[in-house]
Amino acid sequence: MNRDPFILASGPPTRNAEMISRAFDIGWNGAVTKTICLNHEDMVEVAPRIHRVNNGLKNIELISPRSVEEWVEDVRFLKSKYPEKTVIASISAEAGNIAAWQKLALMMQDAGSDALELNFSCPHGLPEKNMGNTCSDIPEAAGLITKSVKQVSKIPVWVKLSPNVTSISYLAQVCVGNGADCITAINTVKGFAGVDIETGKPILSTYGGISGQTIKPIALKAVSEIASLVKCPVSAAGGISTWQDAVEFILLGASTVQICTEVMLSGYEIIHNLSQGLADYLGMNTLDNIRGTSLKYVTSFYKLDNTYKVISEIDFETCTKCEKCYISCRDAGYQAIDICYKIDKEKCTGCGLCSAVCPAECIKVTPVILRRANK
Residues that bind ligand FMN (CB under 6 A): 9-12, 34-35, 50, 57, 59, 61, 63, 90, 119, 122, 160, 187-188, 211-212, 215, 237-240, 259-262
Residue 212 binds: one of ligand FMN, ligand SF4, none (C-beta under 5 to 8 A by kind): ligand FMN
User: What is the torsional sign of CA 265, 271, 275, 280?
Assistant: negative
Angle among Cα 39, 87, 17 to the nearest 5 degrees reads 65
| Contact between 334 and ligand SF4 per CB under 6 A | yes
Residue 187 binds: one of ligand SF4, ligand FMN, none (C-beta under 5 to 8 A by kind): ligand FMN
- State the CB neighbour count (10 A cutoff) for residue 372: 8
**b/e for 229-243, b at 16 or more Cβ within 10 A?**
ebebbbbbbbbbbeb
Point out the catalytic residue in the list 37, 122, 135, 348: 122
Residue 41 gets the label, from left (phi > 0), alpha (psi -120 to 50) or beta, of: alpha
| Contact between 313 and ligand SF4 per CB under 6 A | no
Q: What is the full DSSP assignment across 180-195?
A: -SEEEE--PEEE---B
Question: Rounded to whole angstroms, how far apart are CA atoms 31 and 271?
Answer: 12
Among 322, 342, 364, 370, binds ligand SF4 (CB under 6 A): 322
| Contact between 366 and ligand SF4 per CB under 6 A | no
Question: Rounded to whole angstroms, how far apart are CA atoms 68 and 154?
Answer: 19
Closer to ligand FMN by Cβ: residue 245 or 337: 245
Among 41, 160, 337, 346, binds ligand SF4 (CB under 6 A): 337
Among 167, 352, 367, 374, binds ligand SF4 (CB under 6 A): 352
351 carries an active-site annotation: no
| Contact between 309 and ligand SF4 per CB under 6 A | no
| Contact between 327 and ligand SF4 per CB under 6 A | no
Indicate the Cα dihedral angle 249, 250, 252, 253, nearest 10°: 120
Q: One-letter amino acid identity for 123?
A: P
| Contact between 323 and ligand SF4 per CB under 6 A | yes
Question: Rounded to whole angstroms, how far apart are CA atoms 242 and 43?
Answer: 32
Contacts with ligand SF4: how many residues (CB under 6 A)?
A: 28
Residue 172 binds: one of ligand FMN, ligand SF4, none (C-beta under 5 to 8 A by kind): none
- Helix (H) / strand (E) element for 130: namely none
Residue 325 binds: one of ligand FMN, ligand SF4, none (C-beta under 5 to 8 A by kind): ligand SF4
- What amino acid positions are annotated as catalytic residues? 122
Residues of this chain that bind ligand SF4 (CB under 6 A): 312, 314, 319-325, 328-329, 333-334, 336-337, 341, 343, 348-354, 358, 360, 362-363
